[in-house]
Chains A and B, each alone.
Chain A
């Protein structure tokens, strides 16, 4: 790598240019940060305003004069927010664990085994990949109400998501990266397929499993359309559905709505901040450079 020798003046100029550039970048970053954070800030402060603290005034007054927890207490007493969280956690964790298990099982033979019908199944899955989720809603609903009778039960939000084709394909790609020698070595040792899969292959594709788990986690946590159809009773609702119910119950009560939003968002933000690296690695790991 050839480097030209640079004189002292040029060096100072370069440093100055860099600093100016940096300041410019920080300004851009701060502007974007403000746009990003402003709604949260406003909602956060609004949630602490008492009845005498105006939400709407010209010029606007962001910080409450007499902050109070009354709105949070009101919302907590009126709606089972704790239950919303529990339901969401149960649904999300069940789906994450079982979906990852089922799809990692299913993707393996598609990547590493030869068997009759493997092509048919692969193309079948490819076909189902394009099915929009809204399409399956009507028959799924009828299944939930008429056939399986789990309408208004928490299984209704879990069962349809126990296997997603996207995850199967993602893991299939991951398996393809596993060298065949390792698997053959397992065969030579006399292990059955399941043990090879569990003991040898799974540890290798762990990063992709993490990706699948995290993608599924975020998807399920933020899922609204389907749970809103099958979880009508208040104590059965998941967080996102409960949040909409909250908004319906506090429709002209901006303070209460704000408190509800803060209550549901803050735990997730804290959770994310603690596990930042894993989250980001997982979500972006879906795209191979």
Chain B
């Protein structure tokens, strides 16, 4: 008798706890940030900034809010907003900006969530479930915008956004990740491509900061020197999810024929590009795991742990380095990233796109535009080393002030650099699959002694099968 009751009790209690935890497990509308990182550094840049700049003043106008530039925002709209890896550091900024948004567009409820390592998985699942967010923070540099846009999941913006609003952005940034000439994203915060230097290791080579390569083709020689003098390997990453893009920027390769009937990434330029990496692998001067990892964090963490002489990233991630390895911060140097053969120094970093199935297109466009307007981005720039996508922001004295901390070292040339950003990769049909094919053959060339030309020719042959 006792046993029966006990087992029944156990059953019931398990079920109850299971259900209770299940209901409390429901993802909240606002993000539940994971337990925060131990050291969050925002203090140093902030203090410096406060003494140098004067506040941006928006001249008060009586009637409409000057930031409310989108018409026809739906009444009582409720929109979902997902950001990528911004919590918990920037919680306050996001909340403040949403509050300001509500002053310009009262009556719109914004449900904000931040997703991190599982961002893509969560987004795909939410699209599949039919409850994807209305405004989505997508990475332009990783090619996410064209991925989702080509599946018809994003709203095309050219028709719906007034020209006066479009003109607020750098033209090179507005026209990024186009699908058949149509744009699907509001350019958001930008990075400057720099190389972080670990002076502890770099100085052992006997070179100075000025000796750091200005061109991408000079890197292999540097890596050989680094291996010889310090025994460490180069921390270089192939963007394995978008090799075509990397080929274009670094190697000035033309990936597809003008009429779109055949792929052309087996040209002499492409072979030269691939050969450079093959040579580095053969010489044993690069970390093979980092070379083909699909996580930027792997390469960043290798640098942060003090095991690499340099790493290609943006000044905004210096805060990560400082948080995870305070001892390294004092040895950091920053140089502009070496330019690839294409001569184009970079492309956009982050953007905000709209879900094609949104019930509130105007409200969603309003939110995306609000976060990417000059004032919002200026305020964001003041708390972390990212840069606005709007020329007007740079008029603020904040950008002409002399840089103090190492995170600010890109500030003086930021506007110039970003104005030159351009998306020089043509629309590639079945881009994800083509990149997957290319990755396989590139690995063959890198690790399996297949000659670069043959690998690329075979890759083109297989990729061409995907074309009609």
**Chain A interfacial positions (CB closer than 8 Å to B):** 51, 73-74, 77-80, 86-87, 90, 93-94, 97-98, 101, 142, 145-146, 149-155, 158, 198, 232-236, 245, 248-253
Contact = CB atoms under 8 A, between A and B. Distances in A.
B10 A97 contact: yes
Interface in B240-278: none
B127 to A, nearest CB: 10
B14 A97 contact: yes
Contacts of B14: 90, 93-94, 97-98
B150 interface: no
A251 B297 contact: yes
A253 B305 contact: yes
Nearest to A74: B38
Contacts of A233: 25, 27, 32, 118, 122
Contacts of B11: 97-98, 101
Given A79-B34, A252-B305, A252-B307, A145 B128 contact: yes
Given A51-B327, A80-B34, A145-B125, A90 B17 contact: yes
Which interface residue of B36, B305, B307 has the most chain A CB atoms within 10 A?
Answer: B305
Contact of A80 (B21, B27, B35, B115): B35
| 6 tightest A-B CB contacts, nearest first | A252-B301, A232-B118, A252-B305, A145-B129, A234-B34, A251-B301
Nearest to B17: A90
A51 B26 CA distance: 39
5 contacts: A97-B10, A151-B125, A152-B25, A158-B18, A245-B117
A251 B295 CA distance: 10
B298 A252 contact: yes
A248 B21 contact: no
Contacts of B32: 233, 235
A154 B125 contact: no
Given A78-B35, A198-B4, A252-B304, A153 B25 contact: yes
B21 A235 contact: no
A237 B121 CA distance: 14
A93 B18 CA distance: 9
Given A80-B35, A151-B129, A236 B295 contact: no
Question: Per DSSP, are chain A's interface residues mostly helix, strand or loop, or mixed?
Answer: helix
A253 B36 CA distance: 17
B37 interface: yes
Interface of B: 4, 10-11, 14-15, 17-18, 21-22, 25-27, 32, 34-38, 115, 117-118, 121-122, 125, 128-130, 295, 297-298, 301-302, 304-305, 307, 324, 327
Contacts of B128: 142, 145-146
A155 B22 contact: yes
Contacts of A153: 22, 25-26
Given A78-B35, A232-B125, A248 B25 contact: no
B395 to A, nearest CB: 40
B290 to A, nearest CB: 10
A94 B25 contact: no
Contacts of B121: 232
B117 A251 contact: no
A240 to B, nearest CB: 15
B33 to A, nearest CB: 9
Given A86-B21, A149-B129, A233-B122, 17 more contacts: A77-B38, A78-B38, A79-B35, A94-B15, A97-B14, A142-B128, A146-B129, A154-B18, A154-B21, A233-B25, A233-B27, A245-B117, A248-B295, A248-B297, A250-B301, A252-B298, A252-B307
Nearest to A232: B118
Nearest to B293: A251
A251 B298 contact: yes
B305 A235 contact: no
Contacts of B4: 198
Chain A CB within 10 A, most for which of B32, B35, B130, B324: B35
Contact of A90 (B21, B27, B38, B304): B21
A127 to B, nearest CB: 29
B177 to A, nearest CB: 25
Contacts of A154: 18, 21-22, 25
A234 B25 CA distance: 11
Contacts of A155: 18, 22
Nearest to A235: B32
Name which of A73, A93, A198 has the most chain B CB atoms within 10 A of its CB.
Answer: A93
A166 to B, nearest CB: 22
A3 to B, nearest CB: 50
Contacts of B17: 90
B367 to A, nearest CB: 23
Contacts of A245: 117
Given A94-B15, A145-B129, A232-B121, A253 B35 contact: no
B34 A90 contact: no
Contacts of A145: 125, 128-129
Contacts of A93: 14
